[in-house]
C-alpha cells in the first residue's frame, strides 16, 4: 500500500521525531497570523477559548473560531496527511492516489475559514520546499462552500496570498468560493453545478468534509441535510475520486455520527461500496489518530485527536 509520505521522509519542519510532535507549515502560520492581525484578533488568539465553543455563522462566532479553533482544525487535516504514527495508512493512500495526477479537483465542504484547503496547499508546498515531493507542475481546481460570509472572506484572503508562494513550488490553483447552505436544496444544486463544471478535465477528485458533526449531529440536522449530502457524493463520482470526512474525536461522533454515516453510505452505494475505516479494527466505521502539535502562537503544544473516514467514489 502506497503512503502519501513515508514516515522516514517527513521533514523536520513538519515533524519533530525526538519530541514526537507535528508542526503546522510555516506558510500556513504566517498567513494565519497576518489574518489575525488584520482583523484585530491577535490578542484574542492568546486567550483561553470559551468552554464548549465550536463556532457559528455570525462574524463574532467566526472570529472566535479563527482565533481559538483554526489551528486545531488545521492540525487534524495535516495529521491525516502526514500520519507519522502510521494510524491512518489507508487514508494516506487515498491522498497519494489523488495527488499523483497533474490536475486535481478539490472540494472543501463546509470550508469555514479554510482550514482544510489551506492546510493541504501549504503542506504540499512545504513538502516540495524540503524536496520530499518533486516539483512536478500541479494544477488544482478548488470549490469551497460555506454559509458564513465572514469565513468565506477569510478564506479568499488566504488563497489570494498563497498564489505567488505556491507558484514557486510549481503549484497553481484556481478557486470558486460559494455561499452554501446544506439545508437548502436549490443552493445545494448550484454548488453541485459548480463542482461538475470545475472538475472537468481533472485527473482525480477529492472531496474533503470536515467539522460538520456540530450541525448534523449536535443540532440534529442530519435528516434535513441527508438528501443534499447524498447528491453531492453521487455527483462527485469519477474514475479516480474519493471523499475524506474528518471530525474531532468526541463521544457523539464515535457513538452516533460515524456509525450513522457508515450505514448511510452503504445504503447509498451498495453496488460499488468502498468504505475504509481504521487500521486495527476493520469493522469500525472510522479511523482514529492522535498526536501533539506545536503551538504556533503560544508556548507548548496542544493535543490533536481526530475521527476520520475515507469513502471511495468510483464511477463503476
What's the rounded mean pLDDT across residues 223-250? 95
CA 118/CA 131 separation, integer angstroms: 20
Domains delineated in the chain: 16-312 (3.40.50.150)
Q: Can you give the pTM of this predicted structure?
A: 0.94
What's the rounded mean pLDDT across residues 140-161? 98
User: Which cell numbers hold the place of 159?
Assistant: 488563497
CA 206/CA 142 separation, integer angstroms: 10
Q: Is the predicted pLDDT of residue 299 greater than 60, yes or no?
A: yes
**More confident site: 13 or 47:** 13
Residue with cell 476493520: 282
Average pLDDT, the chain: 91
Q: Is the predicted pLDDT of residue 47 greater than 60, yes or no?
A: yes
How far apart are the two ends of the chain, measured CA to CA in Å?
22
Which of 76, 107, 84 has its CA nearest to residue 4? 84
CA 169/CA 134 separation, integer angstroms: 9
Q: Is the predicted pLDDT of residue 2 greater than 90, yes or no?
A: no
pLDDT > 90: what percent of the chain?
Answer: 75
pLDDT at 275: 47
Confidence class of residue 61 from pLDDT cuts 50, 70 and 90? very high
Residues in CB range of 131: below 8 A, 6 or more apart: none
pLDDT at 276: 52
Q: What is the pLDDT of residues 163-214, one digit of tens each?
A: 999 999 999 999 999 999 999 999 999 999 999 999 999 999 999 999 999 8
Q: What is the pLDDT of residues 247-288, one digit of tens each?
A: 999 999 999 998 888 889 888 886 444 545 445 445 566 889
**More confident site: 114 or 261:** 114
Q: Is the predicted pLDDT of residue 53 greater than 80, yes or no?
A: no
pLDDT at 280: 44
Phi-psi region of 40 (alpha: psi -120 to 50; beta: other; left: phi over 0): left
pLDDT at 148: 96
pLDDT-wise least confident of 1-10, 80-89, 175-184, 218-227:
1-10
Cβ neighbourhood burial of 251 (10 Å; 0-12, 13-18, 19+): exposed
pLDDT > 70: what percent of the chain?
Answer: 94
Amino acid at each position: 500500500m502506497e503512503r502519501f509520505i513515508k514516515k522516514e521522509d517527513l521533514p523536520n519542519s513538519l515533524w519533530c521525531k525526538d519530541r514526537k510532535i507535528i508542526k503546522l507549515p510555516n506558510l500556513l502560520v504566517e498567513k494565519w497570523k497576518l489574518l489575525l492581525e488584520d482583523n484585530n484578533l491577535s490578542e484574542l488568539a492568546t486567550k483561553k477559548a470559551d468552554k464548549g465553543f465550536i463556532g457559528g455563522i455570525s462574524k463574532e462566532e467566526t472570529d472566535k473560531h479563527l482565533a481559538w479553533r483554526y489551528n486545531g482544525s488545521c492540525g487534524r487535516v495535516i495529521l491525516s496527511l502526514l500520519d507519522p504514527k502510521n494510524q491512518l495508512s489507508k487514508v494516506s493512500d487515498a491522498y497519494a492516489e489523488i495527488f499523483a495526477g497533474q490536475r486535481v479537483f478539490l472540494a472543501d465542504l463546509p470550508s469555514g475559514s479554510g482550514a482544510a484547503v489551506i492546510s493541504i496547499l501549504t503542506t504540499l508546498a512545504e513538502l516540495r520546499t524540503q524536496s520530499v515531493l518533486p516539483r512536478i507542475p500541479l494544477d488544482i481546481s478548488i470549490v469551497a462552500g460555506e454559509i458564513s460570509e465572514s469565513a468565506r472572506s477569510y478564506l479568499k484572503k488566504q488563497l489570494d496570498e498563497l498564489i505567488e508562494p505556491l507558484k514557486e513550488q510549481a503549484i497553481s490553483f484556481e478557486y470558486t468560493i460559494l455561499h452554501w447552505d446544506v439545508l437548502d436544496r436549490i443552493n445545494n444544486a448550484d454548488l453541485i453545478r459548480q463542482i461538475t463544471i470545475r472538475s472537468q478535465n481533472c485527473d482525480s477528485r477529492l472531496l474533503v468534509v470536515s467539522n460538520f458533526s456540530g450541525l448534523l449531529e449536535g443540532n440534529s440536522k442530519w435528516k434535513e441535510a441527508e438528501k443534499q449530502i447524498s447528491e453531492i457524493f453521487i455527483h462527485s463520482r469519477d474514475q479516480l475520486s474519493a471523499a475524506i470526512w474528518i471530525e474531532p474525536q468526541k463521544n457523539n461522533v464515535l457513538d452516533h455520527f460515524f456509525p450513522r454515516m457508515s450505514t448511510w453510505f452503504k445504503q447509498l452505494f451498495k453496488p460499488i461500496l468502498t468504505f475504509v475505516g481504521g487500521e486495527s479494527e476493520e469493522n469500525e466505521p472510522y479511523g482514529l489518530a492522535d498526536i501533539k502539535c506545536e503551538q504556533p502562537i503560544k508556548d507548548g503544544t496542544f493535543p490533536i485527536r481526530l475521527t476520520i473516514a475515507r469513502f471511495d467514489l468510483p464511477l463503476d
